Every structure is written in C-alpha cells, then in structure tokens.
Chains A and B, each alone.
Chain A
Amino acid sequence: NAGVTQTPKFQVLKTGQSMTLQCAQDMNHEYMSWYRQDPGMGLRLIHYSVGAGITDQGEVPNGYNVSRSTTEDFPLRLLSAAPSQTSVYFCASSLGAGGGSNTQYFGPGTRLTVL
C-alpha cells in the first residue's frame, strides 16, 4: 500500500511552459485534492474532486486545470506556467467527507520553480 504518490518531486519550468503534476492513490479514496504551499502561508486549496468525473474549484484555482477519469488518479495541469506558480504542491486524499472518513492523507509534495 503506497498511499498517495506524486511525481515528479522537483521540477523547473520556464515561463509559458506547460506541465502535468501526477498524483495517484491506492486506498480507494473518493475524495482527492490539490493544495499549494507558499513561504509563510499554510496550504491553500487549488482544486478538488469528490469522485471520478467530478471536480470543483478551491480557493486558488486560476492557472490550473484538473480532471478525474479514474478513482486512483488526479493530475494537475499548468497550461502556461508563471513565476507566481512557484510553490510546493501537495496532493491529498480521503475516504470521503464527514464522520470518521474525512481525514486527509498527503503525498510527499512536488517543488516547482518557474523561471
């Protein structure tokens, strides 16, 4: 059981380039989400998904796209990278919402630098 995995661990992009951050979980969790962490800030929600085929925006969605075609995978796409997107990105998953099922488990993070 690998939990939540993210690739790559580090990435450097030039302004305007596109890329996809990969996230996968093997816990059969319905809910998956993407956060970004900036210095001096907590984690802020970018996008989330409550199940395959269902996604929604979080607090800071601009510049990012997501899709969820399977329960296991939830990739985050940067269409045209900007220096303001330099950050550490975390993927998280939980069994569901409410009750005892909303504890989120995090991946190891991806450090992205946009030059």
Chain B
Amino acid sequence: AQTVTQSQPEMSVQEAETVTLSCTYDTSENNYYLFWYKQPPSRQMILVIRQEAYKQQNATENRFSVNFQKAAKSFSLKISDSQLGDTAMYFCAFANLNGYALNFGKGTSLLVTP
C-alpha cells in the first residue's frame, strides 16, 4: 500500500507571506495522482489542487502551487500571499491511476496570523 508522509504537524505564517507544506509518498507505480485537500474549522474537505504524475508541469491554482519532484517522490504545496482564511488543516493524498481510494497523510495544521 502506498504511504503518504507529512512531516510538519503544525506551521504558522504571517499574513501576506509565503509558506510551503511538505509531503512525501512511497509508491512503485509510475502513473498516479496527487492531491492537496484543505479542511478549515468547518470540517469540510475542500480540494485545493490536483497533480497528474505523468505531467511534468507543476499544477497551479491562483495562490496555490505545487513543487512535484517525481524522482524524489515529493509533492509540496506553496501558498503565496497567505490570507487569514487559509488557516486550516492541509492533507496530502495519493491515488493510483485506476484506483478508487485516496491514501491520506496525517495532515499539517496551518495557522495564518495577522
């Protein structure tokens, strides 16, 4: 089974600054998908960004971008111009190419301070 590791249980960043959340994973597959989900205090799981392993270009969604290093099995999330509303738990997740299940990391709690 694939494992997903988020080595930073908690992080904080000041408003308007940039922060990077780390994620590493272990797989023998060549093609797969990686995701970052945000879970604010409301508990809702919100998809932030999605990366397809066979695409070398890093995914970007507005202030959110990833640094996908396939050989290193690393998938970090960069949040630029942090906003108070970015305060949340962030989960990294892995999915096989034709699989249905998501394997989640344990999450990183991000606090954005004024």
For B43, give its contact among A45, A105, A109 (CB under 8 Å). A109
For A45, give its contact among B4, B33, B44, B101 (CB under 8 Å). B101
Residue tally, chain B, CB below 8 Å to A: 24
Q: How far is the CA of A102 from the CA of B50 in the complex (A)?
A: 10
Please state if B44 and A103 are interface contacts (CB–CB under 8 Å). Answer: no
- Mostly, the B contact residues are loop
Q: How far is the CA of A73 from the CA of B31 in the complex (A)?
A: 31
Q: In the complex, what residue of chain B is closest to A48 when comparing beta carbons?
A: B100
| Residues of chain B whose beta carbon lies under 8 Å from any beta carbon of chain A | 1, 4, 33, 35, 37, 42-45, 47, 50, 91, 93, 95, 97-102, 104-107
Lowest 4 A-B CB distances belong to which pairs?
A42-B104, A106-B45, A98-B98, A43-B104
